[in-house]
């Protein structure tokens, strides 16, 4: 590094206040000001955090909401003679939310769907069957295949 006062190339520069300015200077120029003690660089703090491996939310998904939930909710509500306002109050949702759920513009939360199932005596969830995917066995591609030669 270079001395900020004389420009001399030196490895170990000292911090000094010369004429009110803090500078990095060589030992020869340090006599013109007040040498400051070297700052000890703090050791980097290494924080070991435990890795959190979240739960797979799809692992326990054995049920999913039916495709025509809005129609089922609306028919059941009308069959019971309950208004949207009253149904909303019963399940803790706003009237506009109930309207959007019935029009299938809003998917009800699982909690709300369970409340609606219980109040309206309907089924909104269906069992999900896990699908297994089989890989087709493939032969590796050869140069003869590319050139179009028959075996």
Instruction: Render each residue's pLDDT in the chain as its tens digit; 151 residues.
Output: 899 989 899 888 899 999 999 999 998 999 999 999 887 778 888 887 777 666 666 566 678 888 898 999 999 999 999 999 999 999 999 999 999 999 999 999 889 999 999 999 999 988 877 666 666 666 677 777 777 765 5
In contact, 27 and 14? CB cutoff 8 Å: yes
> Angle at Cα 62 formed by Cα 60 and Cα 63, nearest 5°?
125
The pLDDT, as a whole number, for residue 68 is 92
| Nearest-angstrom CA–CA distance, 73 and 99 | 10
The pLDDT, as a whole number, for residue 96 is 94
The pLDDT, as a whole number, for residue 38 is 81
In contact, 34 and 55? CB cutoff 8 Å: no
**Domains of the chain from N-terminus onward:** 1-37 (no CATH), 63-127 (1.10.260.40)
The pLDDT, as a whole number, for residue 54 is 66
The pLDDT, as a whole number, for residue 72 is 92
pTM above 0.85, yes or no: no
Q: Which of 5, 2, 8 is nearest to 16 (CA)?
A: 5
Strand, coil or helix: 71: helix
């Amino acid at each position: 590094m270079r001395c900020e006062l004389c420009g001399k190339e030196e490895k170990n520069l000292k911090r000094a206040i010369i004429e009110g300015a803090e500078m990095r200077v060589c030992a020869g120029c340090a006599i013109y000001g007040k040498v400051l003690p070297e700052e000890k660089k703090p050791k980097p703090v290494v924080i070991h955090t435990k890795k959190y491996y979240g739960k797979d939310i799809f692992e326990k998904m054995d049920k999913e909401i039916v495709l025509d939930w809005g129609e089922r909710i609306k028919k059941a509500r009308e069959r019971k003679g309950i208004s949207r306002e009253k149904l909303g109050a019963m399940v803790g949702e706003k009237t506009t939310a109930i309207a959007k759920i019935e029009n299938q513009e809003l998917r009800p939360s699982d909690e709300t769907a369970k409340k609606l199932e219980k109040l309206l005596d309907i089924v909104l969830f269906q069992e999900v069957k896990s699908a297994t995917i089989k890989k087709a066995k493939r032969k590796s591609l050869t140069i003869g295949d590319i050139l179009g030669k028959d075996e």
